[in-house]
């Protein structure tokens, strides 16, 4: 099967800056893929290369098997990009913007799908409103709609929920999930790691232009077998034997970082031996955010 996205040893240099350094990546059709990394890690550069907005210094990239340079027409038809910046054309209404975008991709009578996109993104009431008059959240919806008007098999969302209210975020994810169920490949960059954890089947983490982790979300979460224990004690005094485990001391309690669940037993035993009563206890597995921080530290 042809990969939805195939990136082979792609580098992008801006003078001395290596925005991307020999990045290789393959995303299968139908995946919900997360591209994570701190600011300046190269996520947007990688998306720009896929979309033809930037040209790789070295290496090659393909979308649905089409080279983004030599077969740029087919590659761009296969790709819908929601840009990170809140951009819009102030001359036109929402419906005009969508009709133009659809026409740019060579689609003549696309009214039915445009109406569907308008409906699902809750834009119907604003369809005849000039883009200038829309709120930030509404403009973001239009950006998503513009990326979808040509029904691309691969959809890239570059931080689509930045500065967006909860209601829109949920509506957006419902719609994107539906598209993914319908077979569209989704590539997502976001700073909200809980979103990535909930949505993405596989994740690549980038740091300074290099991929530092690439695995399924489940494997990434399992990779760190440790867990955290939140404790509230009476008296509020941790036995000395447990001091090496303290990850965080906060008001009224402790957070201990344990190597595995087996160590929970030892914590309880030490507390009992020291006659310290457990008032509250919560055992937590590390979330993607913790794992992200750990990977970024190590890389």
Partner 1 sequence: MTGFRTLFYKEWLRFWKVSVQTILAPVLTALLFLLVFAYSLRGHVEIFPGVDYAAFLVPGLAMMSVLQNAFANSSSSLMQSKMTGNIVFVLLPPFSHHEFFLAYLLAAIGRGLVVGVGVLAATIGFVEVRLEHPLWVIAFALAGSGVMGALGIIAGLYSSKVDELAAFQNFIILPLTFLSGVFYSIHSLPPFWRRLSLANPILYMVDGFRYGFFGQADVSPWLSLAIVGASFFALSLFTLWLIKIGYKLRH
* Residue with Cβ nearer partner 1 (82 or 205): 82
Question: Where does this chain touch partner 1 (CB under 8 A) — which range of 102-110, 221-229, 246-254, 259-267?
Answer: 102-110
Q: Is residue 105 a contact point for partner 1 (CB under 8 A)?
A: yes
Cα–chain center distance at 101:
25
Q: How far is the CB of 99 from partner 1 (least distance, A)?
A: 8
Scan residues 208-237 and list those touching partner 1 (CB under 8 A): none
Query: Which is it for strands 185-189 and 32-36: parallel, antiparallel or unpaired?
Result: parallel
Q: Is residue 48 a contact point for partner 1 (CB under 8 A)?
A: yes
Q: How far is the CB of 72 from partner 1 (least distance, A)?
A: 7
- The Cα–Cα gap between 95 and 118 comes to 8
* Residue with Cβ nearer partner 1 (63 or 205): 63
Q: Is residue 103 a contact point for partner 1 (CB under 8 A)?
A: yes
Single out the residue of 227, 226, 240 nearest to residue 271, CA to CA.
240
Query: Which of 22, 26, 67, 89 touches partner 1 (CB under 8 A)?
Result: 89
The token duo for 261 is 């669940």
Q: How far is the CB of 264 from partner 1 (least distance, A)?
A: 52
Query: Which of 1, 15, 16, 108 touches partner 1 (CB under 8 A)?
Result: 108
The token duo for 282 is 């919560």
Q: Is residue 107 a contact point for partner 1 (CB under 8 A)?
A: yes
Starting at the earlier edge strand, list the strands of the sheet with 58-63: 17-27, 5-14, 58-63, 66-67
- The Cα–Cα gap between 108 and 172 comes to 26
Q: Is residue 70 a contact point for partner 1 (CB under 8 A)?
A: no
Who contacts 242 (Cβ-Cβ below 8 Å, separation ≥6)? 256, 267, 270, 271
Q: Is residue 51 a contact point for partner 1 (CB under 8 A)?
A: yes
Q: Is residue 14 a contact point for partner 1 (CB under 8 A)?
A: yes
Question: Where does this chain touch partner 1 (CB under 8 A) — which range of 106-114, 163-171, 257-265, 276-284?
Answer: 106-114
Task: At 231, give phi and psi (nearest 5°).
Answer: -130, 140
Chain residues binding partner 1 by CB under 8 A are 14, 48, 51-55, 72-74, 76-77, 79, 81, 83, 85, 87-92, 96-97, 100-101, 103-108, 146, 150
């Amino acid at each position: 099967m042809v990969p939805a996205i195939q990136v082979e040893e792609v580098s992008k240099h801006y003078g001395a800056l290596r925005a991307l350094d020999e990045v290789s990546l393959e995303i299968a059709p139908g995946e919900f893929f997360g591209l994570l990394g701190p600011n300046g890690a190269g996520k947007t550069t990688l998306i720009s290369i896929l979309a033809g907005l930037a040209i790789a210094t070295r290496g090659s990239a393909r979308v649905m098997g089409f080279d983004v340079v030599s077969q740029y027409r087919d590659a761009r038809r296969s790709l819908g990009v929601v840009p990170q910046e809140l951009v819009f054309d102030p001359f036109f209404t929402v419906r005009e913007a969508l009709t133009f975008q659809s026409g740019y991709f060579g689609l003549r009578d696309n009214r039915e799908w445009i109406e569907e996109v308008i409906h699902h993104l809750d834009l119907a009431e604003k369809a005849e409103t000039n883009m200038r008059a829309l709120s930030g959240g509404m403009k973001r919806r239009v950006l998503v709609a513009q990326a979808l008007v040509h029904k691309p098999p691969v959809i890239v969302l570059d931080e689509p929920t930045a500065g967006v209210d909860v209601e829109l975020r949920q509506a957006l994810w419902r719609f994107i999930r539906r598209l993914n169920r319908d077979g569209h490949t989704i590539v997502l960059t976001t700073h909200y790691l809980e979103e990535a954890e909930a949505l993405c089947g596989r994740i690549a983490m980038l740091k300074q232009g290099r991929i530092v982790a690439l695995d399924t979300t489940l494997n990434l979460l399992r990779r760190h077998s440790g867990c955290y224990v939140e404790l509230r004690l009476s008296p509020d005094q941790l036995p000395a034997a447990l001091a090496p485990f303290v990850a965080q001391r906060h008001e009224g309690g402790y957070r201990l970082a344990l190597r595995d669940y087996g160590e929970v037993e030892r914590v309880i035993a030490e507390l009992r031996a020291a006659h310290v009563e457990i008032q509250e206890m919560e055992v937590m597995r590390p979330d993607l955010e913790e794992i992200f921080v750990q990977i970024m530290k190590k890389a």
